[in-house]
Each structure stands twice: as C-alpha cells, then as structure tokens.
A and B are shown apart, each in its own frame.
Chain A
Amino acid sequence: MGLDFSILPAYADILWKGTLWTIALTVLSMFFSLAGGVVFAVLQLNRHAIIRWPVAGFAWLFMGTPLLLQLFLIYFGLVQIGLDLNAFVAGVIALSLHFAVYNSEIIRSAIVAVDKGQYEAARSLGLSQFQAMRKAIVPQAVANVTPALGNMMIALLKESALVSVIGVMELTLSAQRAISDSFRPFEFYIAAGAIYYVLNLGLEQAVRVAERRSAQYR
C-alpha cells in the first residue's frame, strides 16, 4: 500500500475541528495549570506543616508518575465517586493538575529566590506590604519564571495528545477517526504531526515574546 496524501482534503473538516479542540484544551489547561501552580506554590510556602505536607506529598506523587496514569485516575476515579464528567473536562483537570505541580516548583523557587533585600528596600521606601509585593517582588519573579513556565506550556501542548486515550475528540483522536475510515494511518499521523508542529511553532513564538516582555523587570 503506497502513500497517497491526496486523500487528506476530504477529511479537512474533522482535522480542523480536532485542531480547535486541541487549542481549547491546551489554552484552558494552561490557564488552570498556572493558577494552580501559584496556589500550590503559596500553599507550599505556608508556615503550617499541616498545609505544606499534603501539598508536598501530592506534588511528589504527581511528579513521579506518568501523566497517562493520572489521566486514568481522574477519568475513571471521578466516575467512581459519582461525578460522571465528560472526557474533555476530565482531560482539562488532569492536564491542569499535572502541570500545576511542575509550575508550582518553578514558581516556588522563584519566590524564594527574589532577594529579601529587595522586599526590605521596597518597604523602607514606604510601600505597604501589598505594594512591595506588587511593585518589587512580583515583576521580578515573573521575569525569572517566564522561560521555565514557557517551556512547561510548550510541553503541555504536546502532552495534550494523551487525552485522546480517554476519548476526547481532539486532534490525535480526530486523526484516528479519519484513519479508521480511510485506513491510511501514515498520511493522517503525518498530517496531525504537521499541525502540532505548526501550533508548537506559534506557541514557541508567543513564549519568546512573553520572555522578552517580562525580561525588562529583571
């Protein structure tokens, strides 16, 4: 069986929809993973061990195990406790939690790394604690974490392909649907790969812009 890429346009529609779902999935998960990352980071810096430890344990568990396994846990686990979510929501939750853990490590070390002197200098200028945080600490911390968080977001896009295994009709599963109809895996995986590649290029570009923007505060 030779290769025949001329078959692709007939399935442009399903691939296009899959692409949109992948984008939606990725953007939502990025947002929640960043928000979650901040929350986990702050919790892990809490004075009380009773708050720190469970978060640390959770982080350790999620950093040491595969995303795919976490996906199974969340998708099937939520069903078991009576929350029959649709696959898309489960996918977003799994991706968000998985990456929130990694993001929190990055954010936490950045917060710790911002010089105490900076904070004190800001306070001695008469800024309130909140102002000091906002004007002195946060911009610097953001500049410091942007490259690493950007890499995480780039990884997230590619890892989002995994949610196809729980039945989210994103790009990878869309390609599989087209394949089960056309029996042409090679052509469609190349096509899906090419789309991911382009999305990835776009995201890398965006990350680079964000890095440049935030670097001025360093």
Chain B
Amino acid sequence: MDFALIGRIWPFFAEAAWVTIEVSMLAIILGLILGFAAALASLSRNVLLRWPARAYVSVFRGTPALIQLFLLYFGGPQIGIHLGPFEAGVIGLGINIGAYMCETIRGAILSVDKGQTEAGRCLGLGQTQVMRRVILPQAARMMVRPLGVNAIALIKGSAIVSTISVLELSYTAHRYISSTYKPFEMFILASIFYLAIVTVFSFGVKKIDERVALES
C-alpha cells in the first residue's frame, strides 16, 4: 500500500466525492418527482395517464442504465437535445431511478389497507381527498426505507456517469489508476468516500424513518 501516494492525492478524491454527492442528490430529487408522478398516474383510472406511466416503468427498468445514459448524452444531439456531461448524468440517472421509485411508491400506496379508502369514501370524501389525507400519509411512512434503498443503489450506480466524463469519484479513480498503476490504492481511496457517503445517507434515511414512524 503506497500511503505516500494516497496522502498526496486524496484531496482530489474528496473534491470528486462532492461531484458524486451533487449528481446523486439531484438525480434522487428528480427521481422522486418522476416516481411520484408516475406512481399516481399508473394508479389513475385514465388510460392516457396510466398507459404512459406503465410504459415508462417497463422501459427504464427493463434496459441498462448505461444504455439510457449513452442514448441521452450521445444520441440526444440527433434529436436536438444538447446536454453537458453533468446535466446528462443527473437527468439520465434521475429518469432511471424514477422508474424504480415509481414501483416503490406504487407498492406502498397499494399496501395501505382497502378499508382505509372505504372508510374515507364512506365519510363522503372524494377520491383525491382520500388519496391526499388518508392514503398518502400512511404510504409515506412505509416508503421511506425502500426509497432509501433505491437512493443508495443510485449513489453507487452514479459511478456510470464517469463514462461520459463527469469528474466524479469513479472517474477520478480510473484516471489515477491509469496514471499511477496502483489499482488497489485507488480502489480503497474511492471506496472510503463511497462508504462514507452511503453510511451518512443511510443514517439520514433511518432518522427520517424514525421521525415519520407511526406513534405506537
């Protein structure tokens, strides 16, 4: 283990870790928005909403995130979408994780007992009112942890944006492996940052989960 080398270059990894955090957090936010919209659309009785939402989930869960990213970044210009690496990375990752989050959110909504909807409707509340005040508050509590799992998968999965030259952790690791021929050191260095990010993020998810957990 070449500690002198690690001591010299770790600041570059720290900087790259910020890029990983930025890309991931923005993608997670985008994914949550898309996932939420798609989940509600996929539960709608209107086929014009339901069908596109189902197709979105099926296509983006059914193909590699890397292909989706390449299509957006390299193929986008052919249909007039010109994005820089960072933007393409955020949008590509966000659209991808949104499809997974949609399934998580949908599952949480569907797992709320049918009796809850019936009780709400029996009081004369409309479908939207029941969804907003009865179903979603309960579903929200159930989805925190699984959405956290989705988000952590995304943080690790964000490494793929290194292939379109976003200067994040994996890109930096790759670059230093090529220039120093020290793959173990670079792997360990990058791993420390990934593990730190994932650990802190998991802790945050756990805190949020505890905060929203049913009082009982």
**Chain A residues close to B by CB (< 8 Å):** 1-3, 61, 64-70, 72-73, 76-77, 80, 158-162, 164-165, 172, 175-176, 179, 184-187, 189-190, 192-193, 196-197, 200-201
| Complex: A176 Cα to B75 Cα, angstroms | 11
**Chain B residues close to A by CB (< 8 Å):** 59, 62-68, 70-71, 74-79, 156-160, 162-163, 169-170, 173-174, 177, 181-184, 186-187, 190-191, 194-195, 198-199
Q: Most B CB atoms within 10 A — which of A2, A159, A176?
A: A159
Q: Most B CB atoms within 10 A — which of A65, A160, A192?
A: A65
Interface contacts beyond A64-B156, A172-B66: sample of 5 additional A-B pairs, CB < 8 Å, sorted by A? A72-B183, A77-B187, A172-B64, A186-B74, A189-B74
Chain B residue nearest to A68 (CB atoms) is B159
- The answer on a CB contact under 8 Å between B63 and A72 is no
- The answer on a CB contact under 8 Å between B156 and A65 is yes
- The answer on a CB contact under 8 Å between B71 and A186 is yes
CB contact under 8 A between A66 and B156, given known A72-B183, A80-B181, A185-B78: yes
- The answer on a CB contact under 8 Å between B64 and A65 is no
CB contact under 8 A between A196 and B79, given known A65-B191, A66-B159: no
Chain B residue nearest to A179 (CB atoms) is B74
List of A residues within 8 angstroms of B190 by Cβ: 65, 69
- The answer on a CB contact under 8 Å between A162 and B191 is no
Tell which of A69, A165, A201 touches B173, judged by Cβ atoms closer than 8 Å. Answer: A69
- The answer on a CB contact under 8 Å between A162 and B66 is yes
List of B residues within 8 angstroms of A193 by Cβ: 59, 63-64, 67-68, 71
| Complex: A64 Cα to B142 Cα, angstroms | 24
| Complex: A184 Cα to B70 Cα, angstroms | 12
| Complex: A196 Cα to B159 Cα, angstroms | 21
The 4 A-B residue pairs with the shortest CB-CB distance in the complex, in nearest-first order: A186-B75, A66-B159, A161-B64, A185-B74
| Complex: A159 Cα to B63 Cα, angstroms | 9
CB contact under 8 A between A196 and B63, given known A72-B183, A190-B71: yes
- Quote the shortest CB–CB distance from A200 to chain B (angstroms): 5
- The answer on a CB contact under 8 Å between B67 and A172 is yes
- Quote the shortest CB–CB distance from A20 to chain B (angstroms): 17
Chain A residue nearest to B184 (CB atoms) is A77
| Complex: A147 Cα to B165 Cα, angstroms | 36
| Complex: A82 Cα to B199 Cα, angstroms | 34
List of B residues within 8 angstroms of A190 by Cβ: 71, 75
- The answer on a CB contact under 8 Å between A76 and B64 is no
- The answer on a CB contact under 8 Å between A197 and B78 is no
- The answer on a CB contact under 8 Å between B195 and A64 is yes
Chain B residue nearest to A164 (CB atoms) is B66
Tell which of A2, A66, A187, A189 touches B194, judged by Cβ atoms closer than 8 Å. Answer: A66
- Quote the shortest CB–CB distance from A76 to chain B (angstroms): 4
* 13 A/B residue pairs, CB under 8 Å, sorted by A: A1-B77, A2-B78, A66-B160, A69-B187, A72-B186, A158-B64, A160-B64, A172-B64, A186-B74, A186-B75, A189-B71, A193-B67, A193-B71
Tell which of A61, A73, A161, A192 touches B184, judged by Cβ atoms closer than 8 Å. Answer: A73
- The answer on a CB contact under 8 Å between A189 and B183 is no
List of A residues within 8 angstroms of B67 by Cβ: 161, 172, 175, 189, 192-193, 196
- Quote the shortest CB–CB distance from B159 to chain A (angstroms): 3
Chain B residue nearest to A194 (CB atoms) is B63
